[in-house]
Amino acid sequence: MRTGLCDTLGIDYPIVGFTPSEHAAAAISRAGGLGVLGCVRFNDAAELETVLDWMDHNTDGKPYGVDIVMPAKVPTEGIPDDLNSLVPPEHRAFVERTLSELGVPPLAEDVETGVGVLGWLHSVARSHVEVALRHPIRLIANALGSPPTDVLTTAHEHGVLVAALAGKAEHARRHVDSGVDIVVAQGYEAGGHTGEIASMVLIPEIVAALGGRAPVLAAGGIGSGRQAAAALALGAQGVWTGSCWLTTREYAETMGESAMQRALLGASSSDTVRSRIYTGKPARLLKTRWTEAWEQPGAPEPLPMPLQNLLVSPAHQRMHAADDPSAVAMPVGQIVGSLTEIRPVADVLDEFVRGYADTVRGLAETS
């Protein structure tokens, strides 16, 4: 499994693995893919600094990348207290009532309540870029499209490539016009922020729209060698994967054993929902009693980004502590149905590579 992108990124296999777990990201890079560390959870730049130091010592000199969440246009900004004052009291009351109905207790008194996930704020995402560029990263991926021009310029000055997610061909063209190096074509079936067009249609459409101006990574519905072969058949030069690393041993090493992992192992491909309740923009999540509560008559409309995540972050913290698989909040794609056991990262990657080779061999016999 080898394409031009392997040389561009200095990796063995064109498998890019996005994960908020540094243990999983490092293991993906060590196994020959490109681990991309999701930074949105780091409210404090110093914390990211420490984790990237750890990455530098645990990737055997292999390349890795980071993923930030940065809109091209600077949105409403402010300190968390200001923003929190913009959250309507009815929304807070709904969250409180829902948690109580779901049997999710308040946090123990000695647990510090977080201020929410601030990585969605422009200033925080910018601090992530600054920290990351002090490390030997190979790629900055932006989960919200083209990053601002000066971020692109600075990244390129550091020899760092920039990738951006696209759910439509017109977005992909715009990214490349702005100077983005790699487009991630994110299909409907993907976890997290996602559009309406499914991978089977979106990937070749974006490949055709770019006409070779930039390589395309296929995202959405890809968790096996078969699916990677399908993605490359559709014209992608590699795959962008996320959900399949959530049930790895290394993920648990960073995040701890969790009700979330147990919930993923028990879910089928029908157990996801595309909803604005996680960030304010449509994102695919695991379907749980929490997501269902937001679909009941009388539930409020989700708030715009970044307010919605500020609203629900403390609820996520409470659900995490409550440890009940039926009430968790977790972005995941439709491949969740194929996640049936906790595995080491190297096994998942090995299955990609072997499954890919088997599939390509099988296709050769049909031709």
List interacting residues with a second copy (CB under 8 A).
1-3, 168-169, 187-189, 196-202, 204-205, 220-222, 224, 226-227, 229-235, 269-270, 333-335, 337-338, 356-357, 359-361, 363-364, 366-367
Q: How far apart are CA 359 and CA 364, in angstroms?
A: 9
Nearer to a second copy, 194 or 309 (CB): 194
Q: How far apart are CA 123 and CA 141, in angstroms?
A: 17
Residues with Cβ < 8 Å from 300, sequence gap 6 or more? 88, 90, 91, 94
Q: How far apart are CA 86 and CA 32, in angstroms?
A: 45
Q: How far is the CB of 189 from a second copy (least distance, A)?
A: 4
Structure token pair of residue 25: 């990201």
Q: How far is the CB of 268 from a second copy (least distance, A)?
A: 8
- Sheet with 192-193, strands from edge to edge, namely 192-193, 283-286, 272-275
Tell which residue, 28, 108, 97, 36, has the closest CA to residue 60.
28
Nearer to a second copy, 183 or 202 (CB): 202
Q: How far is the CB of 48 from a second copy (least distance, A)?
A: 32
Nearer to a second copy, 231 or 285 (CB): 231
Q: How far is the CB of 230 from a second copy (least distance, A)?
A: 4
Tell which residue, 326, 259, 231, has the closest CA to residue 287.
326
Q: How far is the CB of 168 from a second copy (least distance, A)?
A: 6
Nearer to a second copy, 186 or 313 (CB): 186
Q: How far is the CB of 218 from a second copy (least distance, A)?
A: 9
Nearer to a second copy, 107 or 273 (CB): 273
Q: Quote the strand ranges of 108-263, DSSP E.
A: 139-142, 161-166, 182-186, 192-193, 216-219, 238-241
Q: How far is the CB of 16 from a second copy (least distance, A)?
A: 16
Tell which residue, 2, 67, 55, 1, has the closest CA to residue 29.
55
CA distances from 280 to 53, 199, 305, 312, 329 (A): 32, 23, 5, 10, 14
Nearer to a second copy, 115 or 198 (CB): 198
Nearer to a second copy, 175 or 320 (CB): 175
